[in-house]
Chains A and B, each alone.
Chain A
């Protein structure tokens, strides 16, 4: 409890309803606001309702976030789709399908680097995005600061975030395509900050027995594919690499993740088999671009919330040795 009060007290030292950004505790620039927001997401108890839209698709969800002695707990439940709950803890992510009573637990890598390298990440962002303050606005009845992230190249999307003045919580987030048109957004319609969120609130309705579905992560396997990725698209660096046993795949899949600090591209490399999962060439899954090609008996797929050119670059930058190959 002390942790919460400490951070909340700090945030509210100036009158909480001061709608201007001129108080001592307010960040000076866009990067400062992003840092504040990232901290707030971890350090505050909150619950709310948000609506996610892309194109005409909408989904409404309820979220609870709790910080306590044992770390963070988060609950995300859908209000309008297949009854589904996602629980996030510091060790894992659990997916619950309430209709079929299926639970899947996905461990988070123990060396999950993001929180640790967070300040470095944030400042790296400025190398590839112009981060500017927009006007003040209001979402969910709360005043907020718009922060605009404009990419310096065509490899990533622009974003507008609106960050609560008092709490620092992200109230609204839009991704804009290369024509500066919003392709998706996420908006809170209600948000209550602080308060006592009980563990039982987080795990409500999740008691009883569940059919356990295995996560695809195979923590025991080491990567076995000989490949190079160059040139690495500008601004991106590798942050993780792992093996996965994907359902229906006879061979494990190599999964690599690259990020520019704000968005990520996943690269999947697996031996080509009889039942292709991805369409060859360029395609999309909602707002995620996907590019798949085959080389030397391997299927290489790059996907992420980035422009088409970026996933193409990633997939095409991979050079492989054949399965029978011997080179390094």
Chain B
């Protein structure tokens, strides 16, 4: 069916009055949007605010969304505009080119300068999530790990993965699902400790 069609179905549900469906879209795009906006917003403590504002503006504009473009393209446009408004309102400029020089960051973890977080709490949680996910990945049987890597990191379709791994699409589907379930189990305790309030 494709990501675009899934998004469109969710959007239609929001347009018919289901706010929870919008929450699902938030969960899908919040981090990708945050990554994009971080190139515009110099203060990492503000990235979350700008991202949140983007989603609210998108919700308000959603009645007028017509599927002429993909939802995420439309969302990103709103995000960039929101980030620019935010800069203008604070008499700021977008970060200049020099701030993204890969050589200023350390080796493998560099490239995209990992920003300092807004609170030690969120920093700790994010670090733990990443560590837990990575550890769980390492323990996965190779076929599960390959399948989920090709899907999540390389963004390949089930069909392409099936051709790559020389197995039926159904096997790919099942491997990805099982990989996710294993990792999700590892994540639950981490999330539960952090989120009396949240998760």
- Give A contacts to B, CB under 8 Å: 5, 8-9, 12, 15-17, 19, 49, 51, 53-56, 58, 60, 62, 77, 79-80, 134-139, 141-144, 146, 160, 162, 166-167, 172, 174, 181-185, 187, 189-196, 204-205
Contact = CB atoms under 8 A, between A and B. Distances in A.
Contact of B68 (A15, A54, A144, A205): A205
B163 interface: yes
Contact of B164 (A9, A49, A181): A9
B177 interface: no
B36 A51 contact: yes
21 contacts: A5-B164, A12-B150, A12-B164, A16-B146, A17-B145, A53-B94, A56-B94, A58-B40, A62-B73, A62-B76, A160-B102, A166-B154, A182-B100, A182-B101, A187-B100, A189-B35, A191-B155, A192-B155, A194-B156, A194-B157, A204-B68
B107 A136 contact: yes
B160 A79 contact: no
B12 interface: no
A60 to B, nearest CB: 5
| Pairs of residues from A and B, 5 with the lowest C-beta to C-beta distance, nearest first | A192-B155, A137-B111, A138-B111, A80-B80, A194-B156
Q: How large is the interface on B (under 10, 10 to 19, 20 to 34, 35 or more residues)?
A: 35 or more
B98 interface: yes
A23 to B, nearest CB: 14
B57 interface: no
Contacts of B159: 196
Nearest to A60: B80
Tell me which of A15, A143, A183, A189 has the highest count of chain B C-beta atoms within 10 A of its own C-beta. A189
Contacts of B80: 60, 79-80
Nearest to B77: A79
Interface in B125-160: 145-146, 149-150, 153-157, 159-160
Contact of B112 (A56, A139, A181): A139
Interface of B: 32, 35-36, 39-40, 68-69, 73, 76-77, 80-81, 84, 93-94, 96-98, 100-103, 105, 107-112, 145-146, 149-150, 153-157, 159-160, 163-164
Contacts of B68: 204-205
Nearest to B145: A17
Contacts of B77: 79-80
Contacts of B81: 80
Given A139-B111, A193-B154, A195-B157, A181 B39 contact: no
Contact of B108 (A17, A136, A139, A196): A136
Interface centre among B105, B153, B159, B160 (most CB of A within 10 A): B160
A47 B112 CA distance: 20
A137 B105 contact: yes
Nearest to B148: A17
Given A17-B145, A62-B73, A135-B107, 9 more contacts: A15-B146, A80-B84, A137-B108, A138-B110, A142-B154, A181-B98, A184-B97, A185-B97, A189-B35
A156 to B, nearest CB: 19
A167 to B, nearest CB: 7
A199 to B, nearest CB: 15
B97 A182 contact: yes
B160 to A, nearest CB: 5
Nearest to A137: B111
Given A49-B36, A53-B100, A194 B154 contact: yes
Given A138-B108, A182-B97, A49 B155 contact: no
A142 B155 CA distance: 11
A167 B153 CA distance: 11
